[in-house]
Structure 1
Amino acid sequence: MPPADAPTHHRPCPAPEAGPGAEDTLELRLTDELLALLGEEAPGPRCGPQGGPRNAGLLDRPAEWKPVTTRAGVFQLVPVRLERDLALISRWMNDPAVAAFWELAGAETVTAGHLTPQLDGDGRSVPCLGVLSGVPMSYWEIYRADLDPLARHCGVRPHDTGIHLLIGDADQRGHGIGTTLLRAVSELVLDNRPRCTRVVAEPDLRNTPSVSAFLGAGFRYSAEVELPDKRAALMVRDRAHRDQL
């Protein structure tokens, strides 16, 4: 069984293809009208000045979030740049402990195929390196849960923000670092996304150590959710609960 701060998520569900009845699904389309209703800016150039996804405003620009001090060291989310980070992330994806959850083992082209749609997309998911004390040591995806296929399978609220995580190096696992960083990143989301009232995650229900890590980071178990690739534990960290502490 993987340690509590092992990778916490299978690879994300792909966006559904259009087909008969597609208009009846719950997926939210990023039309100009929807963006206006959400108070977002319309999509801009393919990449921003820092190389992140276009329309980074959908997630309030993670590239601009400041470093935070944790008990494990100074931590910062740094948006992925394919030419700089592909080899490292691919190496992590080929670690058996990671591959068991993310299912992205193989050549660098496999990892590139996972990253590129996010980097070329509309900004609803931003892949990031987690840099601890100056060393890249984890991979994160910060995503809009209300604009994700997850919304088909469980109740989400406008601006709910999701987290996917893997700890890249084996020597960083099993020491509580994952719990520390989950708390730090959920704090970053709540501090930098004022319209977000909840941070959510969906680790595999069988991965009890990962669920425990989220609980230790201030999340609560909300529901059991049947997703296309797994049965998940929907973990939620509420802004209202945090503000009451």
Structure 2
Amino acid sequence: MTAPLPRITSDYAYRRPDPQIDRTVAFRRVALDRDLGRLHAWLTSDHVTPYWSLGAPLPAFHQAIGDHLEDDHVTAYVGCIDGVPMSYVERYWVAADPLADHYDADDNDQGIHILIGPPEYLGQGCGTALLRAMTALAFRHAATDRVVAEPDATNDAAIAAFERAGFEPRETFRFPHEDKDATRVVCDRERFVGAFSPGAIAANGPPADGPAVNHDDATHRCPSGEHGNSTLEADR
């Protein structure tokens, strides 16, 4: 049985500069007392609702998102660019998720769900930067050698963003839990560290198949300026 994902004690769980967009990416844990309104606005946006199922009126949304955040196999974050909240990101243990029924999942595999809220952040390379940063955070857990996701098979922009962040598409399968055809994408630790980590990008430049920063970003569903100290989240 997997352990609950850890809770953090300071504002940012993780923060790092992204040299490919020349901006700082950071994540902090979702707190409904300050995030309910923005999450509801994002999840009811026209570019999000085709891929997420949480776009309900506010009272029902509050109940649904509250119940979702109680799930111990998921850690939910607000993603920030240069301190501005602009995305909702989930990191989860695959072994406790329905995705584990569709491939030979290791107990330490982690998965990512992501959406970008304000539409002005679409098409700016931010989706790939968020994915790179969240993948780096997942690999902070020493036993995790693989990070996976299951974007909608028709969401070409999301799949392309995952590829630019170091993921490789594998099989397409019917995912009844999300009522969609999904493409499993996989990022192995060795490939990520060698080509997509901040150190590798700084030393070698973008990989040959790296991001075209004006052409990525989309919503991937598989469900105001703020600043804080950079604190890495502990492993489980």
> Partners in 2 of 1:168 and 1:148 — Cα distance?
24
Name the residue aligned to 1:113.
Answer: 63
Name the residue aligned to 1:198.
Answer: 146
> Partners in 2 of 1:197 and 1:87 — Cα distance?
36
Matches within 5 A, 1:182-193: 182-190=131-139, 192-193=140-141
In structure 2, the CA distance between the partners of 1:170 and 1:222, relative to structure 1 (3 Å rule), is same
Name the residue aligned to 2:43.
Answer: 93
Matches within 5 A, 1:58-77: 65-70=13-18, 71-77=21-27
In structure 2, the CA distance between the partners of 1:156 and 1:97, relative to structure 1 (3 Å rule), is same
> Partners in 2 of 1:197 and 1:117 — Cα distance?
29
Partner amino acid, structure 2, of 1:92: W
Contact 1:115 1:127 in 2 (8 A): no
> Partners in 2 of 1:172 and 1:81 — Cα distance?
22
Partner amino acid, structure 1, of 2:153: L
> Partners in 2 of 1:96 and 1:89 — Cα distance?
14
Matches within 5 A, 1:114-153: 114-121=64-71, 123-153=72-102
In structure 2, the CA distance between the partners of 1:61 and 1:236, relative to structure 1 (3 Å rule), is farther
Contact 2:152 2:181 in 1 (8 A): yes
Name the residue aligned to 1:238.
Answer: 188
Partner amino acid, structure 2, of 1:73: R
Identity score, percent: 31
Contact 1:62 1:79 in 2 (8 A): no
> Partners in 1 of 2:165 and 2:53 — Cα distance?
25
| 1:96 to partner: Cα distance | 1.0
Q: Tell me if 1:218 matches 2:166.
A: yes
Contact 1:118 1:126 in 2 (8 A): no
The TM-score with structure 1 as length reference comes to 0.72
Name the residue aligned to 2:208.
Answer: none
In structure 2, the CA distance between the partners of 1:108 and 1:132, relative to structure 1 (3 Å rule), is same
Partner amino acid, structure 1, of 2:14: K
Contact 1:118 1:127 in 2 (8 A): no
Moved more, 152-161 or 103-112: 103-112
Cα shift readout 1:5-50 (whole Å, capped 9, x = no counterpart): xxxxxxxxxxxxxxxxxxxxxxxxxxxxx45xxxx5xxxxxxxxxx
| Structure 1 residues not aligned, in runs of 5+ | 1-33, 41-54
Q: Tell me if 1:171 matches 2:86.
A: no
Name the residue aligned to 1:81.
Answer: 31
| 1:206 to partner: Cα distance | 0.8
Name the residue aligned to 1:104.
Answer: 54
Moved more, 111-120 or 234-243: 111-120
In structure 2, the CA distance between the partners of 1:163 and 1:63, relative to structure 1 (3 Å rule), is farther
Partner amino acid, structure 1, of 2:154: R
Coordinate RMSD, CA, aligned: 2.2
The TM-score with structure 2 as length reference comes to 0.74
> Partners in 1 of 2:131 and 2:9 — Cα distance?
19
Partner amino acid, structure 2, of 1:111: F
Contact 2:8 2:29 in 1 (8 A): no
| 1:171 to partner: Cα distance | 0.4
How many residues get paired? Answer: 191
